[in-house]
A and B are shown apart, each in its own frame.
Chain A
Amino acid sequence: MVEATNHSSFFDTFTAKLRSPEPSDQSGVNVYRNNSRAAFLRVLEETFPIVRKLVGEEFFRFLAHEFYGAHPANSPWVHLYGKPMPKFLETFEPVKHLAYLPDVARLEILWLETYHAEDTAPLSAEVLQSELASDTGLAATVKLHPSLRLLASEHPVATLWQHNKVSDSPLKLTSEGEHIILVRPETAVGVLTVSPALFKAVQLIQNNQSLESVILASADKDPQQHLTEVFRLLIQHQLVISVEKKND
């Protein structure tokens, strides 16, 4: 028991020194303290390149510092370290006026999830069409690609994100929200903005709802036209990996 106490006191003390806002009076401890902070800053820089661009280099460092103070990494897989950032930004006073910023951070996390998701071959358009053309087609549930991620934002964050990826010029933003789908059937991550009705359809399909219930859920749309639009989206962006028909 004495041993265990000694261990924990060493590791707890060292942890406190690393996380202390003030540098240590031991230069050796400070090398570790600086290395640790620099490594976390790098993770955040790599996770949030567009947030970083939007707020500027200097402010991002301050933001990372404040985030570090509020959020100790709780997983050894530090690539996940930035996950609480969107929530943090929502309440972080200096950027509270940038209402879109938390959703830009959400989009950047989802982008990484899509990029690193499992590789699975999407169903070809021919196979998909023949599967769905039969009488039982509408009762089928459709399994979507594991890289698929969805984000509904009250702000035009996909537009903002795309623009800042390629341009430094200012962007005149509308106040329109965006419904965003991220998917990577091959090597490139697609970031698509779709109508609220299509977004809802993909959400229902992702939740294992049959195509029939997807159509019924959009009562205000013409069923045939809605179904065509849903199919066009699924085929064009290779969102489907399998079709599961109900046992008849």
Chain B
Amino acid sequence: MFLLLLCLTGLPLIFHHEIDEALGYAPKMDVHAPGAAKLSLDAVGRAAIADHPGSVLLYMAWDKDEPGMVSTFTNTSVTSDPQTTVVKAFDAYTAKPVGLLGTGPMLVMLRLHTDMYLGLPGKWFMGVMGFLFIVAIISGVVLYWPFTRRLNFAAIRKQKSRRVLWLDWHNLLGVVTLVWALVVGGTGVINAYAEVMLGIWQRNELAAMAAPYAGKPTPTQLALLDKVVGNAMKTTPGMDVAFVAFPGTPFTSTHHFAVFLRGDTPLTSRLVKPVLLDGETGEVSDTSELPTYLKAVLVSQPLHFGDYGGMPLKIIWALLTMFTIIVLGSGLYLWAIKRSKVRRGARLSASTTAALGPSS
């Protein structure tokens, strides 16, 4: 049933951009004249703080498909509950707020899909469910042979009983979606434990990067954001800024900004590169590649969401999800029939034994 929940909530999430737009939950961007100049990042940052007085900036992010939009993440402090973080989009040209991000029905779907509103334990539980999904797929492969060895591939025995018909559909849809389902299930498990891996990175690689600056206080006066981002981009020409983590947030140390740079291909746009910069001076402190396990998390995301091949891939992804729902539903149906048969058989055997009386 949890696997069905994962599929049923995952299905609308494939089209969350489109659904958010249709329901009016997507930011509405103004059109600007070609060549219009963007405001400084600090102006956008000030606008975000002014929009939520008393809050601090945690992150600023840029969507590669919406270059005129800046996403800001604010909360009362850098250590506040992440679930209370306000994510708001601003116009990069006017610093005008253009709407909240991650709200509405799609947020409900996302929470049901990822943690069932149970926070980290919910994520881990869903990770276990994802693992069981993989086990179920493998058990299906083992059972495929005895059920289909005397049939042609894709045989659907339409003239036989309803049970046989659903058995054939279960086998066919299960086997043709096997690799896709394994990849989506496996990447879902990786995503469920992403926060654990982020914690490992913080304690190891990030701590090593920040070690020379240990004991330095939290900056009282932050460096200008434009200088921070400009210095970060100079370290790796050709890469663009994906997001900035402010000092004290989980993606950096208490004294540093972390700027995460990305490439421009479907793969390199996911494999971000962190640059650590001094929170007060904005000078580059260190830069490194992400460890393999975090790269695995980042690469697993598109392979789970199916959002990297345009609308046709999204539609295919949705249809394959529907096939998986049918496989799960027919599996439950076949299991229920088999169970009732076994019970009927046991009752019949018991009544026969009772009618014959005790054997001597």
Same complex for A and B? Answer no
